Structure 1
Amino acid sequence: MHESGPNYGKWVAGNRSKWITLLVWIVLALVLNLTLPAVGERENNNAENLADDKASVQAERLAAQEFPNNTGVPALIVWHREGGLQDEDLTNLQQLTEELTSEPVANQSQVVPLHELPPPALDAQLSEDRSTIILPVFFDEAADAAALEEGIKQLEVKAEELYGASPFEADINGDELSARVTGPVGISIDATGLFEDADVSLLIATVLIVLILLLLIYRSPILAIIPLIGVGFAYLVISPLLGILADQGIITVDSQSVSIMLVLLFGAGTDYCLFIISRFRQLLWHESDKKKALFRAIMNSSGAIAMSGLTVVISLFSLLIAEYGAYQRFAVPFSLSILIMLIASLTLIPALLAIFGRVSFYPFVPRTPELAAAHAKKKGKPAPAPRKQKESKIGNIVTTRPWTVIISAVVLLSVFAAFAPQVKYTYDLLSSFPEDVPSREGFKIIGEQFSEGELAPVKIMVDTKGEDVDLPDRLAELDYVNVVSEPQQGAENSQIAGYDVELTINPYSMEAMQHIPDLRAEAEASLAAAGISNPENNVWISGQTAMQYDSEVTSNRDSDVIIPVVIGLISLLLLFYLRSIVATIYLMATVILSYFSALGLGWIIIHYGLGADAIQGAIPLYAFVFLIALGQDYNIFMVSSIWQKRKQMPLKQAIKEGVGETSSVITSAGLILAGTFAVLTTLPIQVLVQFGIITAIGVMLDTFIVRPLIVPAITTVLGKWAFWPGKLTREEESQTAVKQKQM
């Protein structure tokens, strides 16, 4: 385990260097923000998640070639009135389609001309109880979410002028006419709007929770602001750097990654700041020279801070090897933000502490007995009693009854972890929306009045080689298939036949996704029965259900690859830093157990408490990478203290003092980190709510069970073997040999 050299503090927090350090950060932030675009200006929320070689992507490309759809992207506008639509409603709707035909709204390409339909044909479009009708309006495929939203808003204005009130604002369960926009256009608009609205509210809530927790824990306004200054400057540097990388096409960023990046930056960044601040405060109780105290604090804590930050940076950077686009898009923003924050915590924060000195902790300023007496005399007050070092109760427990602690804590975590295999997953974006979002409300009405499968049919294409195939009959016999369209002939290859298959179930559900292999098998069997060789090479399935199935397969592949890589990389870092194989093994084992416990407990809360049927499929990998990396932060900081103290005292005493010395800062850091992730639960997006719950739980388990109880208790039980084959074991053996000779 290495420590920073004694001169490091002078370079960033000396008499002159502290001002130079502050000036460098100010100039850097100003120059970058004046010359480069902010990351928020370069977000792309329509980036693809699947690579070109995925089956569903190839199928989409073939469908566009052989069965071109010149109508565009559909917005399904669901018109509904409890008790049945009135004649006036339908008349106005026909007038609306006539206006949309003659005067299209922005980015509109086509609209179904209901005004040209005779009454019998119009009646055929109504639901069985005549309460609902769907109006498809098509928009340009090249239009992004903002452009689509502009067109829908213009359409809403036209509808309000016709109906005298806006049906898009009416209650879907009321007696008045209501309208909701769903389908690809509605889902795209709502998804983008939810994440855009989340950015500002998330930033405000995160800053407030960090500020409030710092004030409650440390009761010092200046100290509460110092970490926020560090995080603020880090973000001012990170945002334009990510902005230019996105502008040059090197990376792709979206609203979701920026939102979580802000939380990570404030949570983890504040933790790194507190690690050095707490060490500085401890030394000020014993060192009268604030400069010496700060330099020692920097020397003692910078190694652990650097190693903690590197574990997070490398873990998050490993997401680059993912095939799923959403995972890849997280890698650079997250790892770069932590790297910049790490640099800020090792340079800017020491400089600010050097500038403010003991005043940083006002009004509870730490002073040596001599300084405290002089200060009291100056104020005309009696000298305060000498400050006593508090004995760590937890340190005593883990060193006197380690097996009791280990067994109790491991059993508790194992009970939670037992629920992890029960977790159910979904890749349905629509289910992560709040229930009152228009696209979800419209989809619900379609499912109740028509068939959910109408929203996103599955398209099956086969190369018949000119042979007759019985595929339509095979598909029609499947109990989860509602309608099979007449075969369509390929535009360029007439031997390719296409079938639109409408399912009887929600096409976005996991159940529907699992039928994609079955549909492929039926298609291949049909070709084989017709005598076509290599049928597996002549079947293509496109549509949202097929894409979600590929998303699941790709996500599972990424988890199988990334999780071992993260475990391996962090293990190597721990081994390099601690020089102990044994310690590396049990530190990794404890955070892995903590992760599965967080996943299990999170499922208990999300499923049994909040009533969710499943969690988003991407959450386990995100949570794993975050919790494994962040969980080691606290272990590294505490174990570093024990390792250092073990050089001067017996192991049990080193554990007692190490736990006691780091307990307050790690507890406060854990509360702040968990609090920032918990802020995600206030957002209206279920994927972020679920991620926030599981990650916050994991941080709390690490903070209050793994770090203070399990790790020091295991270290106590292992004794000198906890350091094997590191340097400390050899030192201990050497000291023991010297004592034996003296006796």
Structure 2
Amino acid sequence: MLLPLALLVVWLGLGGAFGSYAGKLAEVSTNDSAAFLPQSAESTEVARLDKAFRSDSTLPVIVVWVSRTGSVGPAQRDAADRALRAATAAPGATGQASPAIPSADGKALQGVVQLRSDLGKDTADSITAIRRIAEQVPQTTVGLAGPAAILADLSGAFAGIDGLLLGVALGVVLVILLAVYRSVLLPLLVILGAVFALGVACAIVYVLAAHHVVRVDGQVQGLLSILVIGAATDYALLLSARFREELQIHGDRFTAMRIAWRQSVEPIAASGLTVALGLLVLLLSDLTNNRALGPVGAIGIVCAVLSALTFLPAALVLLGRAAYWPARPATDGSAPVHGLWRRVAALVGRRPRATWAASLVVLAACAAFAPTLDSGGVPQTELFVKAQPSVAAQRLLSAHFPGGSGNPAVVIASAAQADAVTAAARTVPGVAAVRPFTGGAPTGPAAVVDGRIRLDATLADPADSDAAVDTVRRLRTAVHAVPGADALVGGYTAQQYDTRTTAEHDRTVIIPVVLLCILVVLVLLLRSLLAPVLLAATVALSYLATLGVSAVVFPHVFGFSATDPSVPLYGYVFLVALGVDYNIFLMTRVREEALRHGTREGVLRGLTATGGVITSAGVVLAATFAALGVIPLAFLAQIAFIVAFGVLLDTLLVRSLLVPALVHDLGDRVWWPVRLRAGAAAGADDRPSVRV
């Protein structure tokens, strides 16, 4: 009794001391766009060199005015010039602004105001101040576009992420658990354990981020909350279900917990290890935001495992049957009866080959659409799920100016070859104009820094379009060919292209490493070679099927023309690692039952015993990830759908039908090269088991 009390006191103390840190991560988080750039790419080198051309690092705000009278008049142009000069005194402005430039159709004006890049969340206040000034131009519709305006909208999207996302996720989990278990105390215990784990994880991450050991942004912050809540709930449900089963068989709560903990610790620890290793493999990525999620997510998973294996057992053993109130588990020594899952197991047992063949057909049919998923990058107009001012302004800008206005391709080259590089750039199809950078002044000589110049090449097509990417590739070829120029091409479009290329490279490196890590854990857990390969293959097929469904659903249901380049990689890491969890829960129980009754009987008994709890865990995890949809960003909405749908597919089809049917059909061969002997388990005949 002393150990459970001590553990409970420790966790209550940790919860009280660190619970508030879930809301403090925003203090050490940053949404710096540079974090999304590949570290070794040409565009990243250009961004580094470009800093030398400015006394301060800046973010441009593109102000666009569209005349409501049909064409821009002299008075409107003068008012726009005055507004741009006034905007240089706005909070956060650097004092630099361009004059108002009319569009070729004469219906619009644009100008650029430079903001300091270190404003962070205050960027939104600067944008608001500039908007008020710009609205003084009469008879015009005003929009603010460009990197600073997008950053302001991003900050707004992530504002209050800690409280909103946590509240929605916990609320969804509570409702599902109340509906499934018809218990009041157990859902509260599960949620309390998840909250304690999240608080401790956030406290550790906060300290590490404050000392610049790890990096946190809004995206990482949101995914950490979802990972911890989902994982902690899954592990808690597995343990509590086994405790209830053993409590019914043995009656004594201490004996029941001792057996339940001993039988649950291995699958829970193995599950946590697979997810943590899968996340840590992201450290191999060349994208900073991908690498940031690796250690942060792994810390969260470790805390979830510790909570499930210490806090919850202590609470359950102290409460006993009262933990399931108002339900009262029987303690008559009989085996639990699982009606629905007994029927599912009977179906698998009668027709295993037809079951796994039909399951494979369904998965293969869905996976056939996976190659059609466009992961070339989300256009700026689709960054947000809900309408945002910066997106509307970008549409205004693109309607009246060259598509790449405000987002030029940036060329850094040797000043001695400036004329040759300029001439080469102007011959490239898709380049609308090439101008030297003058240091922020409207006119004047080209700025020269360390023997280099900067050229701004305005693209004819929108900067986020495939046509603009093709232009940048041609531009790189042209300027690279100028002898002695040492020319490099960067800017927004080049960054998108380099990010896409890097993401493709990351997938070829990270995906096999994640799979290898999972296989090693499964081999150690199941003491087999064939079973781990079988499990990993089924989960990988489930992932491809999920991508296939996403390729159909995203454009035709949600209106996404493409996905972020990192979405398939994140989906793989989450789905394969988390999907294997349910197979781990199933197959460890199958192995336990197979030691008593043989493999074919064991898989049916294991499916019957774990069906309800694993399905509940899958529904909870899917709903938890679906809570990411409250953040109005396309990237997180896409991740939410892929993981939620994929988890349900793993839970309801792969783990319920495909894997059990395959194992049943293979029989004892599934444990190759080990020969599993039925009746080898200690105490095989002295305890009742689930009935099939």
Could you state the TM-score of these two structures normalised by the residue count of structure 2? 0.90
Whether the 8 Å contact between 1:72 and 1:110 is mirrored in structure 2 is no
Judged with a 3 Å threshold, the aligned counterparts in structure 2 of structure 1 residues 73 and 39 are, in CA distance, closer, same or farther, namely closer
What CA distance in whole angstroms lies between the structure 1 residues aligned with 2:76 and 2:355? 70
Structure 1 segment 232-243 matched on structure 2, within 5 A: 232-243=195-206
- Could you say which residue in structure 2 is the equivalent of 1:717? 665
What CA distance in whole angstroms lies between the structure 1 residues aligned with 2:461 and 2:534? 47
Whether the 8 Å contact between 1:514 and 1:549 is mirrored in structure 2 is no
What CA distance in whole angstroms lies between the structure 2 residues aligned with 1:96 and 1:475? 33
Judged with a 3 Å threshold, the aligned counterparts in structure 2 of structure 1 residues 333 and 497 are, in CA distance, closer, same or farther, namely closer
Q: Secondary structure at the match of 1:444?
A: helix
What CA distance in whole angstroms lies between the structure 2 residues aligned with 1:108 and 1:463? 30
Of 269, 288, 291, the residue aligned with 2:254 is 291
Q: Secondary structure at the match of 2:330?
A: coil
What CA distance in whole angstroms lies between the structure 2 residues aligned with 1:68 and 1:159? 25
Amino acid at match of 2:651: T
- Could you say which residue in structure 1 is the equivalent of 2:151? 188
Structure 1 segment 548-563 matched on structure 2, within 5 A: 548-563=496-511
1:626 aligns with 2:574: yes
What CA distance in whole angstroms lies between the structure 2 residues aligned with 1:641 and 1:73? 57
Could you tell me how far 1:429 is from its partner in structure 2? 6.5
- Could you say which residue in structure 2 is the equivalent of 1:55? 42
Of 93, 104, 109, the residue aligned with 1:133 is 109
- Could you say which residue in structure 2 is the equivalent of 1:155? 130
Whether the 8 Å contact between 2:193 and 2:312 is mirrored in structure 1 is yes
Judged with a 3 Å threshold, the aligned counterparts in structure 2 of structure 1 residues 389 and 681 are, in CA distance, closer, same or farther, namely closer
Judged with a 3 Å threshold, the aligned counterparts in structure 2 of structure 1 residues 387 and 647 are, in CA distance, closer, same or farther, namely closer
What CA distance in whole angstroms lies between the structure 2 residues aligned with 1:36 and 1:403? 48
Whether the 8 Å contact between 2:472 and 2:494 is mirrored in structure 1 is yes
Q: Secondary structure at the match of 1:451?
A: coil
- Could you say which residue in structure 1 is the equivalent of 2:398? 447
Whether the 8 Å contact between 1:55 and 1:541 is mirrored in structure 2 is yes
Of 413, 433, 449, the residue aligned with 2:363 is 413
What CA distance in whole angstroms lies between the structure 1 residues aligned with 2:21 and 2:369? 51
Judged with a 3 Å threshold, the aligned counterparts in structure 2 of structure 1 residues 586 and 34 are, in CA distance, closer, same or farther, namely closer
Deviations 1:540-588 (A, max 9, x none): 1121122222222222222211111111111011001111101011011
Could you tell me how far 1:674 is from its partner in structure 2? 0.7
1:635 aligns with 2:583: yes
What CA distance in whole angstroms lies between the structure 2 residues aligned with 1:418 and 1:626? 21
Judged with a 3 Å threshold, the aligned counterparts in structure 2 of structure 1 residues 480 and 130 are, in CA distance, closer, same or farther, namely closer
Could you tell me how far 1:477 is from its partner in structure 2? 3.9
Could you tell me how far 1:48 is from its partner in structure 2? 2.7
Judged with a 3 Å threshold, the aligned counterparts in structure 2 of structure 1 residues 560 and 36 are, in CA distance, closer, same or farther, namely closer
Whether the 8 Å contact between 2:145 and 2:394 is mirrored in structure 1 is yes
What CA distance in whole angstroms lies between the structure 1 residues aligned with 2:247 and 2:206? 41
Could you tell me how far 1:44 is from its partner in structure 2? 1.6
Structure 1 segment 265-280 matched on structure 2, within 5 A: 265-280=228-243
What CA distance in whole angstroms lies between the structure 2 residues aligned with 1:158 and 1:197? 28
Whether the 8 Å contact between 2:38 and 2:502 is mirrored in structure 1 is no
Could you tell me how far 1:206 is from its partner in structure 2? 0.6
Could you tell me how far 1:78 is from its partner in structure 2? 2.0
Of 189, 196, 201, the residue aligned with 1:226 is 189
Amino acid at match of 1:133: L
What CA distance in whole angstroms lies between the structure 2 residues aligned with 1:156 and 1:485? 27
Q: Secondary structure at the match of 1:179?
A: strand
Judged with a 3 Å threshold, the aligned counterparts in structure 2 of structure 1 residues 193 and 315 are, in CA distance, closer, same or farther, namely same
Whether the 8 Å contact between 2:369 and 2:548 is mirrored in structure 1 is yes
Identity of aligned residues (%): 29
What CA distance in whole angstroms lies between the structure 2 residues aligned with 1:514 and 1:130? 29
Whether the 8 Å contact between 1:426 and 1:509 is mirrored in structure 2 is no
1:519 aligns with 2:475: yes
Whether the 8 Å contact between 2:102 and 2:108 is mirrored in structure 1 is yes
1:668 aligns with 2:616: yes
What CA distance in whole angstroms lies between the structure 1 residues aligned with 2:449 and 2:550? 52
What CA distance in whole angstroms lies between the structure 2 residues aligned with 1:250 and 1:729? 50
Could you tell me how far 1:519 is from its partner in structure 2? 1.6
Judged with a 3 Å threshold, the aligned counterparts in structure 2 of structure 1 residues 88 and 690 are, in CA distance, closer, same or farther, namely same
Total equivalences in the alignment: 670
Amino acid at match of 1:327: N
Of 353, 378, 402, the residue aligned with 1:403 is 353
Whether the 8 Å contact between 1:222 and 1:362 is mirrored in structure 2 is yes
Whether the 8 Å contact between 2:338 and 2:608 is mirrored in structure 1 is no
Judged with a 3 Å threshold, the aligned counterparts in structure 2 of structure 1 residues 331 and 513 are, in CA distance, closer, same or farther, namely same
What CA distance in whole angstroms lies between the structure 2 residues aligned with 1:482 and 1:48? 29
Q: Answer with 290-299 or 229-238: which moved more.
A: 290-299
1:254 aligns with 2:217: yes
Could you tell me how far 1:81 is from its partner in structure 2? 4.3
- Could you say which residue in structure 2 is the equivalent of 1:43? 29
1:704 aligns with 2:622: no
Whether the 8 Å contact between 1:97 and 1:111 is mirrored in structure 2 is no
Could you tell me how far 1:217 is from its partner in structure 2? 0.6
What CA distance in whole angstroms lies between the structure 2 residues aligned with 1:316 and 1:653? 36
Whether the 8 Å contact between 1:460 and 1:498 is mirrored in structure 2 is yes
Whether the 8 Å contact between 1:420 and 1:596 is mirrored in structure 2 is yes
- Could you say which residue in structure 2 is the equivalent of 1:27? 13
Q: Answer with 672-681 or 337-346: which moved more.
A: 672-681
What CA distance in whole angstroms lies between the structure 2 residues aligned with 1:701 and 1:593? 11
Could you tell me how far 1:343 is from its partner in structure 2? 0.5
Whether the 8 Å contact between 2:352 and 2:662 is mirrored in structure 1 is yes
Gaps of 5+ in 1: 1-14, 115-121, 168-175, 372-385, 733-743
Amino acid at match of 1:318: V
What CA distance in whole angstroms lies between the structure 2 residues aligned with 1:195 and 1:294? 42
Could you tell me how far 1:718 is from its partner in structure 2? 1.2
Could you tell me how far 1:276 is from its partner in structure 2? 0.5
What CA distance in whole angstroms lies between the structure 1 residues aligned with 2:164 and 2:510? 32
- Could you say which residue in structure 1 is the equivalent of 2:277? 314
Q: Answer with 78-87 or 335-344: which moved more.
A: 78-87
Could you tell me how far 1:423 is from its partner in structure 2? 0.9
What CA distance in whole angstroms lies between the structure 2 residues aligned with 1:394 and 1:539? 65
Of 540, 548, 570, the residue aligned with 1:600 is 548
Of 91, 107, 123, the residue aligned with 1:106 is 91
What CA distance in whole angstroms lies between the structure 1 residues aligned with 2:156 and 2:197? 27
Whether the 8 Å contact between 2:277 and 2:298 is mirrored in structure 1 is yes
What CA distance in whole angstroms lies between the structure 1 residues aligned with 2:583 and 2:43? 44
Structure 1 segment 59-78 matched on structure 2, within 5 A: 59-65=46-52, 67-68=53-54, 72-78=58-64
Q: Answer with 710-719 or 478-487: which moved more.
A: 478-487
What CA distance in whole angstroms lies between the structure 2 residues aligned with 1:679 and 1:510? 32
Could you tell me how far 1:370 is from its partner in structure 2? 8.6
Whether the 8 Å contact between 1:423 and 1:603 is mirrored in structure 2 is yes
- Could you say which residue in structure 2 is the equivalent of 1:17? 3
Judged with a 3 Å threshold, the aligned counterparts in structure 2 of structure 1 residues 330 and 298 are, in CA distance, closer, same or farther, namely same
- Could you say which residue in structure 1 is the equivalent of 2:461? 505
- Could you say which residue in structure 1 is the equivalent of 2:512? 564
Amino acid at match of 1:444: R
Could you tell me how far 1:238 is from its partner in structure 2? 1.1
- Could you say which residue in structure 1 is the equivalent of 2:686? none
- Could you say which residue in structure 2 is the equivalent of 1:484? 434
Judged with a 3 Å threshold, the aligned counterparts in structure 2 of structure 1 residues 226 and 194 are, in CA distance, closer, same or farther, namely same
Q: Answer with 210-219 or 177-186: which moved more.
A: 177-186
Could you state the TM-score of these two structures normalised by the residue count of structure 1? 0.84
Judged with a 3 Å threshold, the aligned counterparts in structure 2 of structure 1 residues 489 and 595 are, in CA distance, closer, same or farther, namely same
Deviations 1:8-58 (A, max 9, x none): xxxxxxx12111001111223344569999423211211534465432222
Deviations 1:200-237 (A, max 9, x none): 32211111110110011111111111110001111121
